Amino acid sequence: MSEEDIKEEIKKLRNEIASLKEQLREAQERRKERGYKFYIDIGNNIRESVEDALESVAESIHGELEKSIFIGPRGVKIIKGKVSEKEEAAVDFSKTSEIMNALSHEHRLKILKELMSGGKYVNELQEKLQEITTSTLLSHLKILEEAGLVVQEKVRGRYLITMPGRTAYKMAFRVARFVEESDLE
């Protein structure tokens, strides 16, 4: 089929759609004249209606997200409000990236999980995570410490998970679970 033929076909289709719309409009007018109480307007407003409906759903989801709750081991925490544009603009992407990088290793997530139950010495972590060598463990702890997810006591030497570390771990865990639950296959 040549380009000219295609253009001609499209023109015919447009005319046909215009004709159908006109017939539909006339039919609706007749139904109104006949006094039908209910009729469905599927004419020119159909696109606006669908768009309105979608917007409504989007608003509803957004509203739910604004009052999302996080359920932790010690109860329910409600996130009040949303991140303001000012706060969003102040986000340090470099720091965010550092934190995400610190979380992006299975071993480091396992270390955080162990620290969730309380501060631990290196040998205690080593006992729990026998698949990791001591040097690798120390290297992972350094990355976690630099990201601010873990802090080491200088006197006793124990490693503790920080408040941001605990939050980051819980969020990573929730995202993973959310992805798993969202998989419909």
Partner 1 sequence: MIWHNYQLDDTVQKVREATTLWKAEKGIIEISKDTLAVLIKVNNNKIGCVFHGDGKLILDTIIETDEGAIGKPIEKEIEKPFIMIGNIEQFLQNLVVANRQDLAKKGYAEEREFIERAGDLCNRFFGESTRVHGCGTFEQGFLFAFTSGEISGLDMLITKDSKIVYKTRNMTFISNKNKIVLKTPGKTVLSNDGKSIVLNAQHSY
For partner 1, the binding residues (CB under 8 A) are 70, 74, 77, 79-80, 118-119, 151-156, 160-167
- Smallest gap from residue 58 Cβ to partner 1 (A): 25
Looking at the Cβ atoms of 31 and 110, the one nearer to partner 1 is: 110
Do 13 and 21 form a contact (C-beta atoms < 8 A)? no
- Smallest gap from residue 155 Cβ to partner 1 (A): 5
- Smallest gap from residue 69 Cβ to partner 1 (A): 11
Looking at the Cβ atoms of 37 and 74, the one nearer to partner 1 is: 74
Do 90 and 98 form a contact (C-beta atoms < 8 A)? no
* H or E element that contains 10: helix 3-33
Looking at the Cβ atoms of 40 and 69, the one nearer to partner 1 is: 69
- Smallest gap from residue 79 Cβ to partner 1 (A): 7
Looking at the Cβ atoms of 74 and 86, the one nearer to partner 1 is: 74
Closest CA to 139 of 111, 115, 100: 111
Hey, CA dihedral for 137, 138, 142, 148, is it positive or negative? positive
Closest CA to 25 of 42, 8, 38, 4: 42
Look up tokens 């350094």; give the residue.
142
Mapping DSSP to helix (H, G, I), strand (E, B) and coil, where does residue 78 land? Answer: strand
Looking at the Cβ atoms of 126 and 162, the one nearer to partner 1 is: 162
- Smallest gap from residue 110 Cβ to partner 1 (A): 17
**Max CA-CA distance within the chain?**
91
- Smallest gap from residue 119 Cβ to partner 1 (A): 6
What DSSP letter does each residue of 61-72 carry, written as one string? HHHHHHT-EEEE
Looking at the Cβ atoms of 62 and 77, the one nearer to partner 1 is: 77
